[in-house]
Amino acid sequence: MHWYEKLNEYFPIEEMKSQDHIEALLEDFPELYHKDEGKYHVLMYVEADEFIFIDYLFVSAESRGMGIGHQLIEKLKAKDKPIILEVEPVNYKDSDTKKRLVFYQREGFQHATSIGYKRKSLATKEINEMEILYWAPNGEGEDVVLQALVKTYKKIHTYKDTHFYGEAYEPVDEVIQKNSKSRRKDIFDEI
């Protein structure tokens, strides 16, 4: 199966970039946007000088429990930069959402409780709220995470959006907000 088909089958439509968008990122920003693909996995990620952003991490169902996800995360951790990703909130009708959170918690990721992320899907027109997780090798705080998210949104998520989707995503300040820590509960407390 083609790498895009694997991602498209696993991730909800509201989270997916088009194949053209991803291929343009790989071609236009080869120093920044990367694909790591194997028989049982697809990892798409941004590697900037100061952080790594995991765009998509897919491990096939038949290979789960073999340590592939752990090995991929360890390879990124070896770069000694903060690692950031967006993840769906726990949906008790979809057991994979809880499994993903447990996996990232086991890998040492923290929940960025002071950062809100809501984006309208151009595919479904619905507002999707995502949780932000991060791994900080040198104690980097949520301000570093916030700056990395803003950079990723502007450079990667909205890259040629009107060309690929016929309309633009919302401005970054409408999607990513700094919240009061006291107003948000840590998602890891729920699992």
Beta-strand relationship, 52-59 and 83-87: parallel
Comparing C-alpha atoms, which of 65, 62, 42, 45 is closest to residue 54? 45
Q: What is the pLDDT of residue 186?
A: 61
Tell me the pLDDT tens digit for each residue of 21-37.
999 999 999 999 999 99
Tell me the pLDDT tens digit for each residue of 113-140.
999 999 999 888 999 999 999 999 999 9
Q: What is the pLDDT of residue 94?
A: 61
Q: Where are the beta strands (DSSP E) in the chain?
A: 33-38, 41-47, 52-59, 83-87, 110-111, 115-120, 127-135, 176-178
User: Furthest-apart CA pair in the chain: how many Å?
Assistant: 45
For residues 90 and 82, which has the higher predicted lDDT (pLDDT)? Answer: 82
Q: What is the pLDDT of residue 99?
A: 82
In angstroms, the first-to-last Cα distance of the chain is 33
Confidence of residue 158 (pLDDT cuts 50, 70, 90): very high
Looking at every residue in the chain, the average pLDDT score rounds to 91
Residue 171's domain comprises 3-189
CATH code for position 43? 3.40.630.30
131-158 average pLDDT score: 96
Query: Residues of the chain with pLDDT > 90: what percent?
Result: 75
What does pTM read for this prediction?
Answer: 0.91
Q: What is the pLDDT of residue 188?
A: 58
pLDDT for residue 107 is more than 80: yes
Other residues' Cβ atoms within 10 Å of the Cβ of residue 98? 14
pLDDT for residue 190 is more than 70: no
Dist CA 148 CA 79 (whole Å): 16
Q: What is the pLDDT of residue 42?
A: 98
Q: What is the pLDDT of residue 182?
A: 46
The number of folded domains in the chain is 1
